[in-house]
Amino acid sequence: MYMKAVFAIMLVCFFYTGKAQEADVTFTSSDKKVERSFEWAKGMALHYKGHPADAVGAWYESALPPRDAFCMRDVSHQSIGAEILGLNRENYNMLSLFAGNISASKNWCSYWEMNKNGKPAPEDYRNDQEFWYNLPANFDVLSATWKLYLWTGDKRYINDPVFTRFQQKSVMEYIDQWVLSADSILTRPAHPNAPTPFNDSDSFHRCRGLPSYSEGVPNLKAGADLVAALYRGLITYSAIMAEAGKSKEAALYARKAESYRQQLEAKWWDNKDKLYYTYYSNDGYFGKDEGETFLLWFDALKDNDRVKHTLDHLSSKIWNVENTSYLPLIFYNKGSWDKGRDYILYLADKSTPRREYPEVSFGVIEAVVQGLMGVAPDARTVSVSTIYKSNTSDDAAVHNLRVLNTVVDISHLNNHQSIMSNKGSRPLKWKAMFNGSFPRAYVNGRAVAIKRTTDSQGKVISFATTTVAPQQQVKISVER
């Protein structure tokens, strides 16, 4: 009778939630400041989860909180943090809505912002001819869906018809109608698809196709962030084509992407100030404002000396909290690990202005797991790579992390020993990476071949690979 009662309770729990109960992701570390930052961010981010009865379906706040809405840029940024927290239904629903709402009548824009009622937010939309829209958004969403595919293995993000249509329209008609090809972006008209009659004092006319995420720069022809977004969007589409076995299309869009990156280096770099210009005006001059963040977010810069100057400039100023929420992961990815940690602590600090803005908490979650812990799933190879990005002897661990249709625990005992536990039902390939050159590696104490490569900053990385079976724990270490 007792066992029957226990089974009955478990069954009720299963049908009540719609799925078997899953443990929440947690993070622990001997670095208690980072651990507390993660706990604060987790609570704050989950606070923004939408109500199940909301007409829009599953969603989370990703815009100015009073609006009960989600914005294309914010969702694109918050999506991996959301996935880490188990908000997979929310991610798929919101991104599907953005992808599904592009239309010819909006010149292949979507709704910049939607609310919990399933409608375009009235703060940004009047009708299909009069609305606010930032042109980097299509490519940001395109990049986000690819990242989510790599993280989850959910092929709907790359081959569901609603997404394939969005991909195709964004890299073809959208670029054509907004005059965004690499050879015309600096000569494009100011408002190529403006309503008629045009009212420059109406932001829904003037900003119907704002060519940047920087909204405070007047008389704008193009932003450097738009060029970087185009690069990332086309590189992403090339990867999607490669995954589909379409090698010719993949090569074509890789070449197109490269033309934007080359333009950034040739025309947008100010050699005198050792900084990138961030906008080009309709009066024919380059200028600087905010926007450098996105050159790094979209990983469009390959010159390490210029990257360093850009990082130095970003860290020399206090930016608005939206921009700052991108910085922890950026600094981790670009090798400035101590600065990445500093930004995590800054964003989580109760004295930081507007730390309640949704992007902040989601950005901290992503920075801890992808940045500090170096977790990078790849659905193409059903593998997870890890690398501990810390200059200290602190340990750190993430538990109950959902990746590639399984659940893992990942622990870094220090910067030369890591453990993975596969708690799911499918095997995973694990690529354990370590900073520096080491003579040999060990898998559960057994010597294995070690390989070496270099990261994007030219630093030597040693790594060993193995397969972690379901319900197996594996330790990989390197000999110092």
pLDDT tens sequence across 362-414:
999 999 999 999 999 999 999 999 999 999 989 999 999 999 999 999 999 99
Pairing of strands 220-223, 269-270: unpaired
Alpha-carbon span 411 to 396, nearest angstrom: 6
Q: How many CB atoms lie within 10 A of CB 172?
A: 12
Where does the pLDDT of residue 57 fall: very low under 50, low under 70, confident under 90, or very high at 90 and above?
A: very high
Residue 21: pLDDT over 50: no
Residues 6+ apart with CB under 8 A from 433: 374, 385, 386, 387, 461, 462, 463
Cα distances (angstroms) measured from residue 85 to each of 28, 49, 76, 337 = 15, 11, 15, 23
Alpha-carbon span 16 to 200, nearest angstrom: 53
Residue 425: pLDDT over 60: yes
pLDDT reported for residue 480? 78
Residues 6+ apart with CB under 8 A from 189: 179
Share of the chain above pLDDT 70, in %: 95
pLDDT reported for residue 31? 98
Where does the pLDDT of residue 3 fall: very low under 50, low under 70, confident under 90, or very high at 90 and above?
A: very low
In sign, the C-alpha dihedral spanning 397, 340, 135, 66 is positive
pTM for the model: 0.94
Q: How many CB atoms lie within 10 A of CB 236?
A: 24
pLDDT higher at 3 or 380: 380
Share of the chain above pLDDT 90, in %: 93
pLDDT reported for residue 22? 60
Q: For the chain, give the mean pLDDT.
A: 94
Q: Give the distance between the most distant pair of CA atoms in the chain.
A: 82
pLDDT reported for residue 23? 79
Residues 6+ apart with CB under 8 A from 275: 269, 288, 292, 309, 310, 313
Class of 384-478 in CATH: mainly beta
Where does the pLDDT of residue 213 fall: very low under 50, low under 70, confident under 90, or very high at 90 and above?
A: very high
Residue ranges of domains in the chain: 52-317, 384-478
Residue in the block written with tokens 């980097």: 136
Tell me the pLDDT tens digit for each residue of 440-464: 999 999 999 999 999 999 999 999 9
- Which residues are paired to 461 by β-bridges? 435, 453
Class of 52-317 in CATH: mainly alpha
Residue 82: pLDDT over 80: yes
Q: Which one, of 287, 100, 104, 306, lies nearest residue 212 by Cα?
A: 287
Torsion of CA 361, 328, 76, 287, to 10 degrees: 120
pLDDT reported for residue 375? 98
